[in-house]
Chain A
Amino acid sequence: MNTVVDITGLRKTFGRVTALDGLDLSVAAGEVHGFLGPNGAGKSTTIRILLGLMRSSGGSATIFGRDPWTDAVALHRRIAYVPGDVSLWPGLSGGEAIDLITRLRGGAGDRKAYADRRAHLSEVFQFDPTKKGRTYSKGNRQKVALIAALATPADLYIFDEPTSGLDPLMEAVFRDEVAAVLGAGATVLLSSHILSEVEHLCDRVSIIRAGRTVETGTLAELRHLTRTEVSFASAGQEASAFAGIPGAYDLVVDGARVKFTADSDALAPVLEALAARNVGGLTINPPSLEELFLRHYHDDIATDAATAAAAGTDAGARR
Chain B
Amino acid sequence: MSGLGTLLRQRFRRDRIQLLVWVLGFAALASVGHSAVSQSYGTPKDRAGVIVLLEQTPSVLVLRGTPQGTQSDAFQFMLLFAFLGVLIGLMATFLAVRHTRGDEEQGRAELIESTPAGRITPLVATALEGVIAVAVIALVNTGGFLLYGADAGGAVLAGLALASVGGCFLGIGLLAAQVMRTSRGANGLAAALVAAAYMVRGIGDATGTVDVDDPLSMTAGWVSWLSPIGWGQRTSPFSDPTVWPALLGLALGAIAFAGALALRTSRDIDSSIIGERAGRAHARPSLAGPIALVWRQLRNPTIGWLVAAVLFGLLVGSLSETLTGNAPADVKQNLGDTVGSIAGPNAHGDLVDLFIVAMFSMIGAIAAVCAVQSVARARQDEANGTAEIVLSTAVSRIRWFVAYLVIAVASTVLVVGVAVLGAIAGASGAGAPSGTVTTITSAALAQLPAVFLLLALVALVFAIVPRLTIGLGWTLLLLAIFIGQFGGLFGLPEWARDLSPFSHTPIVTEANADWGSAWLMLGLAVVVAAASVLLVRRRDVALGG
Closest chain B residue to A132 by CB distance? B279
| Docked CA distance A202–B290 (Å) | 35
Binary CB contact string for chain B from 266 to 287 against chain A (1 if under 8 A, 0 otherwise): 0000000000101111110001
Instruction: Flag if B394 contacts A76 (CB, 8 Å).
Output: yes
| Docked CA distance A74–B538 (Å) | 18
Instruction: Flag if B289 contacts A104 (CB, 8 Å).
Output: yes
| Docked CA distance A99–B384 (Å) | 20
In this assembly, does B388 line the interface, its C-beta being within 8 Å of a C-beta of chain A?
Answer: yes
| Docked CA distance A101–B288 (Å) | 9
In this assembly, does A298 line the interface, its C-beta being within 8 Å of a C-beta of chain B?
Answer: no
The 7 closest A-B pairs by CB, nearest first: A93-B279, A99-B283, A87-B385, A104-B393, A96-B283, A95-B281, A130-B278
Which of A47-55, A182-190, A216-224, A245-253 contacts the other chain?
A: A47-55
Contacts of B276 in A (CB 8 A): 131-132, 135
Instruction: Flag if B394 contacts A77 (CB, 8 Å).
Output: yes
In this assembly, does A174 line the interface, its C-beta being within 8 Å of a C-beta of chain B?
Answer: no
- Residues of A101-117 at the interface with B, using a CB-CB cut-off of 8 Å, are 101, 103-106
Tell me what chain B mostly uses at the interface: helix, strand, loop, or mixed.
loop
Instruction: Flag if B385 contacts A85 (CB, 8 Å).
Output: yes
**CB-contact partner of B293 in A52, A53, A89, A98, under 8 A:** A89
| Docked CA distance A134–B384 (Å) | 12
Contacts of B13 in A (CB 8 A): none
Instruction: Flag if B389 contacts A91 (CB, 8 Å).
Output: no
In this assembly, does A79 line the interface, its C-beta being within 8 Å of a C-beta of chain B?
Answer: yes
In this assembly, does A73 line the interface, its C-beta being within 8 Å of a C-beta of chain B?
Answer: yes
Contacts of A77 in B (CB 8 A): 394
Pairs A–B under 8 Å by Cβ, sample size 13 = A52-B391, A72-B396, A73-B395, A79-B392, A83-B385, A87-B388, A95-B282, A96-B280, A100-B283, A104-B290, A105-B394, A129-B281, A130-B278
- Residues of A34-63 at the interface with B, using a CB-CB cut-off of 8 Å, are 48, 51-55
Number of interface residues of A (CB under 8 A): 42
Most buried by A among B392, B538, B540, B541: B392
In this assembly, does A81 line the interface, its C-beta being within 8 Å of a C-beta of chain B?
Answer: yes
| Docked CA distance A93–B392 (Å) | 20
A residues neighboring B (CB under 8 Å) = 48, 51-55, 72-74, 76-77, 79, 81, 83, 85-101, 103-106, 129-132, 134-135, 145
In this assembly, does B189 line the interface, its C-beta being within 8 Å of a C-beta of chain A?
Answer: no
CB distance from B402 to the nearest CB of A (A): 14
In this assembly, does B182 line the interface, its C-beta being within 8 Å of a C-beta of chain A?
Answer: yes
Closest chain A residue to B392 by CB distance? A81
Contacts of B6 in A (CB 8 A): none
Contacts of A86 in B (CB 8 A): 385, 389
Known: A104-B390, A106-B394, A131-B278. A95 touches B385 (CB 8 A): no
| Docked CA distance A53–B543 (Å) | 10
Instruction: Flag if A51 contacts B280 (CB, 8 Å).
Output: no
| Docked CA distance A101–B290 (Å) | 10
Instruction: Flag if A53 contacts B540 (CB, 8 Å).
Output: yes
CB distance from B108 to the nearest CB of A (A): 15
- Residues of B364-399 at the interface with A, using a CB-CB cut-off of 8 Å, are 384-386, 388-397
In this assembly, does B105 line the interface, its C-beta being within 8 Å of a C-beta of chain A?
Answer: yes
Contacts of A95 in B (CB 8 A): 279-283
Contacts of B279 in A (CB 8 A): 92-96, 129-132
Closest chain B residue to A105 by CB distance? B393
| Docked CA distance A105–B296 (Å) | 19
Interface residues on B, range: 20 to 34
In this assembly, does B324 line the interface, its C-beta being within 8 Å of a C-beta of chain A?
Answer: no
CB distance from B393 to the nearest CB of A (A): 4
Instruction: Flag if B388 contacts A96 (CB, 8 Å).
Output: no
Instruction: Flag if A88 contacts B386 (CB, 8 Å).
Output: yes
Contacts of A93 in B (CB 8 A): 278-281
CB distance from A101 to the nearest CB of B (A): 6
**CB-contact partner of A99 in B287, B391, B541, under 8 A:** B287
| Docked CA distance A134–B182 (Å) | 9
| Docked CA distance A130–B198 (Å) | 36
Most buried by A among B278, B281, B384, B396: B281
Instruction: Flag if B540 contacts A55 (CB, 8 Å).
Output: yes
| Docked CA distance A95–B392 (Å) | 19
In this assembly, does B18 line the interface, its C-beta being within 8 Å of a C-beta of chain A?
Answer: no
* Apart from A72-B396, A93-B278, 6 more pairs, CB < 8 Å: A53-B392, A74-B394, A76-B395, A85-B385, A92-B296, A104-B394
In this assembly, does B297 line the interface, its C-beta being within 8 Å of a C-beta of chain A?
Answer: yes
CB distance from A122 to the nearest CB of B (A): 9
Most buried by A among B282, B289, B385, B541: B282
Instruction: Flag if B388 contacts A83 (CB, 8 Å).
Output: yes
| Docked CA distance A96–B540 (Å) | 28
Known: A79-B392, A83-B385. A91 touches B297 (CB 8 A): yes
Instruction: Flag if A51 contacts B287 (CB, 8 Å).
Output: no
Instruction: Flag if B105 contacts A134 (CB, 8 Å).
Output: yes
Known: A93-B279, A130-B279. A145 touches B389 (CB 8 A): yes
| Docked CA distance A88–B388 (Å) | 11
Contacts of A130 in B (CB 8 A): 278-281
Known: A89-B293, A99-B287, A103-B288. A54 touches B540 (CB 8 A): yes
Contacts of B281 in A (CB 8 A): 93, 95, 129-130
CB distance from B507 to the nearest CB of A (A): 41
Closest chain B residue to A51 by CB distance? B392
Instruction: Flag if B541 contacts A48 (CB, 8 Å).
Output: yes
Contacts of B385 in A (CB 8 A): 83, 85-87
Closest chain B residue to A83 by CB distance? B388
| Docked CA distance A74–B283 (Å) | 25
Instruction: Flag if A76 contacts B392 (CB, 8 Å).
Output: yes
| Docked CA distance A73–B182 (Å) | 37
CB distance from B9 to the nearest CB of A (A): 27
